[in-house]
Structure 1
Amino acid sequence: MAPVPPSDHDVVEKQLKDIIQDLYQTMVQVHSYDPSSSKPSDEVLKYTVDLIEDHLCKLYDSVTPTSSGPGRKVTLPDVPPELIAYVDGGRNPDIYTREFVEVARRNNQLVKGKMEAFGSMRDTLAREMERGVGELRGDVERVLEGTGGRKS
């Protein structure tokens, strides 16, 4: 998935800051809530919760993918849950990325080795089949051509 353009990122960041501010205001309202008082604290709390809902809806609308064009919406990149757990554990995400790249490189080398080994086996099998069963030469050549093999 492509990175979020800076202007879209700024919009989402501001919306998230608004939501955090609303949550803080809700915390203050809940802490000072007094059901026995004649103050309109329940109205203020209701207004704050409604404000959170509005800001969450705006955030959802701005990050929900739609068709491109005028009024296109932001698509946030997917963050793997493993990375979130790694950062929650107090570890550096750069180290996670480095380890991930190293594992991917190692796996790519392993798969490349397997592909080369199977290719070599395919070529050897084709060569031996042509020697042993000459009438299959056309079929063997067709299979080699279809699988990217080289005839020797």
Structure 2
Amino acid sequence: MAPVDRVDHNVLERTSLQTRLSEDTNTPEEQLKDIIQDLYQIMVQVSTYDSAGRSSREVLINEIKTLSESLRTLHTSASPPNNLPSVPPELLEYVEHGRNPDIYTREFVELVRRGNQLMRGKLNAFGTFRDILAENMTTAMPELRDDVVQVVEATGGVPPGRRNGEQSQSQPQQNGANSNHASSSAA
């Protein structure tokens, strides 16, 4: 084995643990490299251990504490099994039963497409309901018109009376009701 350079243990004592604690954000690969380095440092300390010298004992204790902290950091930051790419159990069943996983993918895409169409239909229905409700509220309670317009605009709708182009607020409400009827029959 090649000779090892002398390390200033006083500097190592103070900074080693602080450095390890600040490196909690390292990747697991870097943390493994740190653990290997810690093991190497312990090997050096054991090979140069002086049983009569108190400083050798303290340095070795600090190196073991550093190794323990590095192992703890790696353990807490190692990705748990559920961080792996998620493979649906149904897909695994397809493969286990000798079926083509492309069939599962095709069925899944069709299911998602149907769900998206259903959701789009619901969104359109609620949007139409919002517009009709807003129109009827402004007709029945004109004093709430500003609030209704604010709510309709905040939810992505076209405020009552502005569906077929901008109309001023001074125009009669009947024109707004007629334009709503025309826009709903065009849709």
Calculate the TM-score normalised by the size of structure 1: 0.50
**Structure with higher RCO (Cα < 8 A, 6+ apart):** 1
Calculate the TM-score normalised by the size of structure 2: 0.41
Q: Give the number of the structure whose alpha-carbon radius of gyration is greater.
A: 2
